[in-house]
Chains A and B, each alone.
Chain A
């Protein structure tokens, strides 16, 4: 996955779940609180209305009492009940008319005897039989009674009724028809009910169903007409009539809408009171919060995505550029064009660009050096070939001349002359080889070939070869070498070094009692070779310069030791290439010992 996408995903995964989680949890708890709050509020309103209704019912009873307690009325009624005189009837009429007029809401007042016969009325057009057979009358016989029902002209009416006594004797029933305002106004005040809230009351019909006795906010035609079946337990009014005073979180109202409701029961009149509000409205604030929350989440997501895109852009773009630059460098193109910003990444790119430039320079330098190397090598090859080619027939013919089978025999003088040529040619050959060895060591093209060989045999071989010269010059040449192991190194080159050292030594030993000894010793992980002579020795200053190229101890014109001065520097080069060290120990007048080491693994075996 790309770096950019990784960053984006990380930010989103890290950032969003937390926001979403907190939002959901917060929202859930807030919902709980709001519900509780609303229900409590409804409850409070319900209690308040309940109390208000009670007060008004009481007031109505008091109004009733205001009529029924009148002594004159009762005395007149009692008298009328006995003699049915018009005089008494008129007295009653006057009292009830006054009573009716004194209270606005009173529409009609009727007085009945205990048998249900009309004694007096404020309006004789009203058929008394309607009332004498009704519950209003029946209940009124016993005690004060209040009801709301359809009255004259099919209008909702408040019925008040109550018994009248005189000297402990029941003499009649007062029935008052009143406007129901004192009751219905209480529930019809929707001031603190928002748009969908309301309160209302209902009573039970004879079949047990609920019938609304107050107007409904959303049904103009409901009062005393609309009923709710008593089986509708989910509807609050049913619960209210079942005397369940409670708050309900999940109710349906008469419109089929989800509501919060609080129910009350009015004992006196067997009415149910419901205070309700649509859930939608109650949780309006909650829904707003829900929308805000979702909106916030979306905005957060938007921000998170935006921020992470920008961030990843800012981070990955320089990295991408860096990667491209690295790629082009790896392909050999060092010209980096990078846009720079003023921060750490910009600084990095800038340094990278500088590195690219210096790398380009280094590469060029390397190329130049290689060219020089190559030309040196070519020179080497050419020189090798060109110098050796003429030397071949010179040396070859010298040898051939001395071989009678090829060109016949020669006399001594002739042989002597050829020897002279040969000696010089050999010297020339050695010089060429030395120069080429030095060249190869210099440019690191000096090749060694390692192979296991018995060291003892090499030393013996060297002794044999040197024997002739040793005898000529009266040198006592001794060797000392253990004969029980092989050395894994370049035999020819080691021989070259020892031979070189020997050739040096032979020129610096005294004329008499000359001694040279060659010793080989086994050490922990190396072999130590030492070549000692009892010659004139080398002083400290000379020792410093000894292994340098072209250094000759004796630079006089008539020098005896003929050499190129390269021998020791070649020895040093060879030994170091073989992994060893070479050094000298000497004192002027006290002889010289050359030491060199060859690394050696302890795999010794017995021959």
Chain B
């Protein structure tokens, strides 16, 4: 149902997330392996939900948000963080993030977050 884009520099995690999302009948409309790709593809694909890893080469997740949010203030982003540092998440909130998932995550966590984000009227 939802059109989702996955951004993470780890192939395995991207594959895993794709499987989980498709199991829940959502569409994975695109993937990106770093911040630069993420920005380029987002502008083309305009997904409903963005799953965004924070620690990436070239451009970090936060930088991606800082660039995209002014142009797409209504974008819905769930950040994925391995840092365990929720301070970074608060920084992301300023740029439109509305949910976060800790690594390592459970399937339920991922699906719950996507469902919540879907229900939000942004």
Q: Which residues of A contact B (CB under 8 A)?
A: 381, 384-385, 388-397, 399-400, 403, 405-407, 429, 433, 436, 447, 449
Which residue on A lies nearest to B14, using beta carbons? A393
Distance in angstroms between the alpha carbons of A416 and B84 in the assembled complex: 30
Contacting pair A436 B84 (CB below 8 A): yes
Contacting pair B13 A406 (CB below 8 A): no
Distance in angstroms between the alpha carbons of A390 and B106 in the assembled complex: 14
Most buried by A among B19, B103, B106: B103
Q: How far is the CB of B10 from chain A (nearest CB, A)?
A: 6
Q: Which residues of B contact A (CB under 8 A)?
A: 10, 12-13, 15-16, 19-20, 23, 55, 82-87, 103-107
Contacting pair B106 A388 (CB below 8 A): no
Distance in angstroms between the alpha carbons of A393 and B87 in the assembled complex: 24
Known: A385-B83, A447-B86. 9 other contacts (CB 8 A): A384-B84, A389-B10, A391-B103, A392-B10, A392-B16, A393-B12, A397-B12, A400-B16, A400-B19
Selected A-B contacts with CB under 8 Å, 11 pairs: A384-B82, A385-B83, A389-B82, A391-B104, A392-B13, A392-B104, A396-B16, A396-B104, A400-B107, A405-B23, A429-B104
Distance in angstroms between the alpha carbons of A399 and B107 in the assembled complex: 7
Chain A contacts for B105, CB-based, 8 A: 392, 396
Distance in angstroms between the alpha carbons of A399 and B55 in the assembled complex: 24
Known: A392-B104, A396-B16. Contact between A447 and B87, CB under 8 A? yes
Contacting pair A384 B83 (CB below 8 A): yes
Q: How far is the CB of B55 from chain A (nearest CB, A)?
A: 5
Chain A contacts for B10, CB-based, 8 A: 389, 392-393
Distance in angstroms between the alpha carbons of A400 and B21 in the assembled complex: 11
Chain B contacts for A391, CB-based, 8 A: 103-104
Which residue on A lies nearest to B82, using beta carbons? A388
Q: Select which of B20, B85, B87, B104 is within 8 A of A406 by beta carbon.
A: B20
Q: How far is the CB of B36 from chain A (nearest CB, A)?
A: 20
Contacting pair A400 B82 (CB below 8 A): no
Chain B contacts for A447, CB-based, 8 A: 85-87
Contacting pair A392 B82 (CB below 8 A): yes
Contacting pair A389 B83 (CB below 8 A): no
Known: A385-B55, A392-B82, A406-B23. Contact between A397 and B16, CB under 8 A? yes
Q: How far is the CB of A226 from chain B (nearest CB, A)?
A: 116
Chain A contacts for B82, CB-based, 8 A: 384-385, 388-389, 392
Q: Select which of B13, B83, B103, B107 is within 8 A of A403 by beta carbon.
A: B107
Chain A contacts for B86, CB-based, 8 A: 447, 449
- Sorted from nearest, which 8 A-B pairs have the closest CB atoms? A393-B12, A392-B104, A388-B82, A396-B16, A392-B103, A395-B104, A391-B104, A388-B103
Q: How far is the CB of A19 from chain B (nearest CB, A)?
A: 73
Which residue on B lies nearest to A394, using beta carbons? B104
Contacting pair B19 A399 (CB below 8 A): no
Distance in angstroms between the alpha carbons of A391 and B10 in the assembled complex: 12
Q: Select which of A384, A393, A399 is within 8 A of B106 by beta carbon.
A: A399
Distance in angstroms between the alpha carbons of A384 and B85 in the assembled complex: 10
Chain B contacts for A407, CB-based, 8 A: 19
Most buried by B among A390, A393, A407, A433: A393
Most buried by A among B10, B19, B84: B84
Chain A contacts for B13, CB-based, 8 A: 389, 392-393, 396
Chain B contacts for A388, CB-based, 8 A: 82, 84, 103-104
Contacting pair A403 B23 (CB below 8 A): yes
Distance in angstroms between the alpha carbons of A433 and B102 in the assembled complex: 12
Distance in angstroms between the alpha carbons of A390 and B105 in the assembled complex: 12
Contacting pair B104 A400 (CB below 8 A): no
Chain A contacts for B19, CB-based, 8 A: 400, 406-407
Distance in angstroms between the alpha carbons of A400 and B12 in the assembled complex: 13
Chain B contacts for A433, CB-based, 8 A: 84
Distance in angstroms between the alpha carbons of A140 and B6 in the assembled complex: 159
Chain B contacts for A393, CB-based, 8 A: 10, 12-13, 15-16
Chain A contacts for B55, CB-based, 8 A: 385
Q: How far is the CB of B65 from chain A (nearest CB, A)?
A: 18
Chain A contacts for B15, CB-based, 8 A: 393
Most buried by B among A388, A390, A391, A449: A388
Q: How far is the CB of A381 from chain B (nearest CB, A)?
A: 6
Distance in angstroms between the alpha carbons of A436 and B13 in the assembled complex: 22
Q: How far is the CB of A501 from chain B (nearest CB, A)?
A: 22
Most buried by B among A381, A392, A393, A436: A392
Chain A contacts for B12, CB-based, 8 A: 390, 392-393, 397
Which residue on B lies nearest to A436, using beta carbons? B84
Distance in angstroms between the alpha carbons of A279 and B87 in the assembled complex: 100
Chain A contacts for B83, CB-based, 8 A: 381, 384-385
Q: How far is the CB of A164 from chain B (nearest CB, A)?
A: 147
Which residue on B lies nearest to A437, using beta carbons? B84
Q: How far is the CB of B105 from chain A (nearest CB, A)?
A: 7
Distance in angstroms between the alpha carbons of A433 and B83 in the assembled complex: 11
Distance in angstroms between the alpha carbons of A403 and B20 in the assembled complex: 10
Chain A contacts for B85, CB-based, 8 A: 381, 384, 447
Contacting pair B20 A400 (CB below 8 A): yes
Q: How far is the CB of B6 from chain A (nearest CB, A)?
A: 13
Distance in angstroms between the alpha carbons of A388 and B103 in the assembled complex: 6
Chain B contacts for A429, CB-based, 8 A: 104
Which residue on B lies nearest to A445, using beta carbons? B85
Contacting pair A396 B107 (CB below 8 A): yes
Distance in angstroms between the alpha carbons of A394 and B85 in the assembled complex: 22
Distance in angstroms between the alpha carbons of A289 and B19 in the assembled complex: 117
Distance in angstroms between the alpha carbons of A407 and B83 in the assembled complex: 29
Q: How far is the CB of B16 from chain A (nearest CB, A)?
A: 4
Distance in angstroms between the alpha carbons of A449 and B12 in the assembled complex: 32
Q: How far is the CB of A584 from chain B (nearest CB, A)?
A: 29
Which residue on B lies nearest to A428, using beta carbons? B104
Distance in angstroms between the alpha carbons of A399 and B106 in the assembled complex: 7
Known: A381-B83, A400-B16, A447-B86. Contact between A389 and B23, CB under 8 A? no
